[in-house]
Structure 1
Amino acid sequence: MRPDGRCGRATSERKPGMLSGTRNDGFPMPIRFRIDHMTITRARLAMWMLGAALTLAAATQVSAAPERRCGWLENPSPANWWLNDKDGTWTLLTMGNEPVPGLDTMPDMSTKGWVVTNAGGHGYGCACLDLEIDPRTREVTRIVAARPLPLKRCKADRTLRAP
């Protein structure tokens, strides 16, 4: 019997790097373990990959379902596009920056009426755009769909400011 009153062999003979387990007969059995540089490196890599995967998963879920936004679609000069609706201005492209994905697939907006205000066909029209918007930053992340509307629809909407 050990000094602590339990049966079995005393475990005071433990050495660094050893844990004790039990054999089938109930006696303690040394279990050797080893942690080397590669084990630590693999563990760090696994934790980094898990963190990256969770970050990516969270980032992809930021965009909510597409929101339909209708209002004045403005293109006053080259490489400048935005939509003004009842809630504010939604920037699609500004000169020197990357366009929002989907801008290049927008249909011809001049089919329902387009007011030319600048050389090269730049101006404004009325449109509805289905947009994915980051709820935290209120920035447009993607244009899902777009369709032109008659100018009279936007002119009749009192919640829209004039272009």
Structure 2
Amino acid sequence: MTRTYQQRVAAWYRLATMATMACVLPFAAAQALAGERAQAVLPTLCGWLDNPTPGNVDFIDRDGNWMVGIQGGHQAAGKLPTFSSGRWVRTGHGSTGYGCVCMKARIDPDDRKILELVQARSMPLATCRKDPAIKGEEPFNPLK
């Protein structure tokens, strides 16, 4: 190869690299900004987290029922909060029961699904029992 040809190829490569970076960097920045905005506008939901049977978890708040997980089907990403014995009402064997929770979550309002639990914390049972928006919505306890 001639030196002139090598210089042209090198110049073309530098130009192609700069053009690629000029397209990629704004895209990456836009994605990062969109991710930050999505985090900033996540709704905080508070209500009853009900685990009536293994693999099935529902959430009940002022807007109604939300599916968190269904056995053999949809399961929200993220971790459910841990509950102390004073914040969890056992309704049967194993981990079945319910508790009061507040969480930041990604939701699908059309399908009434919790897609991802971003932050979730257990709350005292009295918090949900005193909330007028969910008065009378405490899950059924067959052990009462």
Structure 2: segments with no counterpart, 5+ residues: 1-9
Give the partner amino acid of 2:14. M
Distance 1:49 1:85, change over 3 A: same
- Bigger relative contact order, structure 1 or 2 (CA pairs below 8 A, ≥6 apart): 2
- Aligned pairs for 1:125-144 (under 5 A) are 125-129=98-102, 131-134=103-106, 137-138=108-109, 139=114, 141=116, 142-144=118-120
Q: Which residue of the other structure, out of 114, 121, 125, is the alignment partner of 2:89?
A: 114
Shift of 1:149: 0.1
How many residue pairs match? The answer is 122
- Contact 1:93 1:100 (8 Å CA) reproduced: no
Shift of 1:159: 6.0
Partner of 1:39: 15
- Contact 1:73 1:83 (8 Å CA) reproduced: yes
Q: Secondary structure at the match of 2:123?
A: strand
Q: CA RMSD in A?
A: 3.5
Q: Secondary structure at the match of 1:82?
A: strand
- Contact 1:90 1:140 (8 Å CA) reproduced: no
Shift of 1:87: 0.6
Distance 1:128 1:45, change over 3 A: same
- Aligned pairs for 1:2-81 (under 5 A) are 36-63=12-39, 64=41, 67-70=44-47, 72-81=48-57
Deviates more, 1:55-64 or 1:137-146: 137-146
Between the aligned residues of both structures, percent identity stands at 20
Bigger helix fraction = 2
Superposed CA deviations along residues 120-163 of structure 1, whole A, max 9, x for unmatched, are 2413x34132x21347x344531332224059927x85463755
Structure 1: segments with no counterpart, 5+ residues: 1-33
